[in-house]
Structure 1
Amino acid sequence: MKDGHVHTPFCPHGTGDPISAYVERALELGYSEITFAEHAPLPKGFTDPTPSMDSAMRLEDLEGYFAALEEVKRSYKGRIKINLGLEVDFIEGFESETKAFLDEYGRHLDDSILSVHFLKLPNGRYDCLDYSPGTFGAMLEQYGSVKNLHLHYYLTVLKSVQSDLGTFKPGRIGHITLANKFQLKYPLMESLGEEVSEILTEIARREYELDYNGAGTAKPLCREPYPPDWIAGKAKLLGIQLVYGSDAHQVKELGQGLDRMQIRKKHEEA
C-alpha cells in the first residue's frame, strides 16, 4: 500500500501535526510507502489570490522542508519507504517561472505531483478554483455557466499535461476532477467525456501517473474521489498507473476514501 499525496506542517492551510505522526499512522495502516508532497512555493511574480494567501509554503521555508524530510527518512529507514516530494502548481502564464523553479530544486525530489488549483479568468485575474463555494460561485459569474468553468478547468489541466516544464517536470497529474469539489451545490448537468478522454490519452501517451485522490470523498459538496469511478476505469483501460493519494492535511485523514475506491476493491480481492 502506498499513499502518494500527503501534506505536512509546512502547509500554511494544514495543521501542526508532526511529520513523524503521519509516518507512525502510515505504519499502523500497513503502508509500505508514503510520499510527502507539500504545496511548492508559488512561482515568482504570481500573487496568491485567496483571501488568506495561504495556498503554498513560502520559498524561504523550502530548505527547512527538505531537511525535515531527510531527517525523517533517516529515522524510519528500513521500516517504510518515504519519498520527499512536492505538489507543484501549473499556472497558465507562469510556465517559464515554474520550469526555472524545478530546474533549481527538482534534483532534491524523489516524487512529485502537478496540479491545477488556479484558473486565469477571462478578465485576466486568477482565482483559486477549490478555495470555497463562494469563490466558485463568483467564478461562475465570470464564465457564465458551470459547464464553461469546467471546460476551462479541463483545458488548463490538458495544458499542464502538455507543458514543457523541463527535466524535473512531475510525472503524476493531481486530482484531475477538482472542479467537482462543490458539485452538489453547483452540479454539472452535461457530460464532458470527450474532454476527459483527451486528457487521459495525453497522460497515457507520456506515460504519466494519475493521482487517485480520496480527499473528495470527505468534502461535503463532492462525496466522490478525484477522479470518480468512471474516469478511473477509463484510465486503467489506457494503462495509466493510478496512485492512491489521501491528500491528507492532518494525520487523521490518512487513508480517507479508500473504502469508496477501486484500489481498495483490488486490494481486498488480492
Structure 2
Amino acid sequence: MAINRYLGDRYDPNSRFTMGMLWPGEKGWTEAGERRVLCGLQLPGADNQQQLFRGKVAEQDQSKVWPAGTCLGIDSTTNLPTELPVDCDKAHAMEITGTVSLAEQFPGSVPPEPDQDAFIKDNCTRLTNDYMGNPDGFRATTLTLSYNTITLPSWTAGSRQVSCNIGSTLGNGAWSTLVNSAKSGQLLINGQPPVPPPDIPADRLNMPPIPLSTTPAPTQQPTQTQQPTYTQQPTYTQQPTRTQQPTQQTTQQPTRTSTPPTSSGAPSPPTSRVSPS
C-alpha cells in the first residue's frame, strides 16, 4: 500500500526491486515501546545480500534483468526459480544469456504481445547463440530458451527490457536443478550430464527444392453423387415390460457416413513462448 502510494503509476508489479521493512529491533520494540515500521524498496543480490543502487526507483527502468552469465537460484521444495542470483556452481534453475531492450523498436505505447514475442525471440536466440559460442553449443546442452513479454502495468511504469534465460522445465511446471554454467562443459541437469541429440545429417540441412507438379489435380467427385454406406444395423428401442404401459416401438435411423474421398497427395509431416510475467 505504501509502495503504491509512493510510486503511483511508476509502480512495476514485476519490478526487480522488492519491498523491504525496517523495524526498531527487539530492544526498541520491547523496551522503548517503538511501534513504527519503515517501508522501503531494495534490490536483492547474491547470497541474500542487498545490492547498492543510485537514484530513486521511480526514475529508473525497473525491468527484472541481470547481466549475462548470472545464474538464478531454485527453491528445493517447489523446484521453482527464486529469481535471486547465486554462484553457477551451486544449484540453480536458469542462466541468463542476455538482455533485450524494446525501447527503440517500440517507442510508443505497449506493443501487442505477438509483436513483442517475435522481436524478443529473434534477439534472444541470437544472444544465446553468441553467449554459448555457436548454435551447436547451445543445442548440446539440451536446455530451453525462455523469456517474458512486458505487461501493460510494467510498460506504463517505464520498464522496457527483458532477460533471455536458459533452463530445463519439467512436465508439471517445475524446473530442473542445474549445477555449473552451461558454458563450462560440466553442466549437470538433475545430477546428470546432458545427452546431446544426434547431429542432423548434412544432406537434411541442404535439401534440394521440391519441384511443383504441373499436372492438374484430379477433380473431386461431388459429395451428393457418392453412394452412402452404413456403419451399423438399425437399432430398436427396448420392448415394454409387463409393469409398464406399452410404448410405441420406434427405430433409430441408420447413421450415414460419406466415403472419404481419396487424395493423390501424401500426408503432411507433423509440425511442432520464459517466461514467468
Shorter-normalised TM range: under 0.3
Max radius of gyration: which structure?
2
TM-score normalised by structure 1 residue count: 0.19
Name the structure, 1 or 2, with higher relative contact order (CA <8 Å, separation 6+): 1
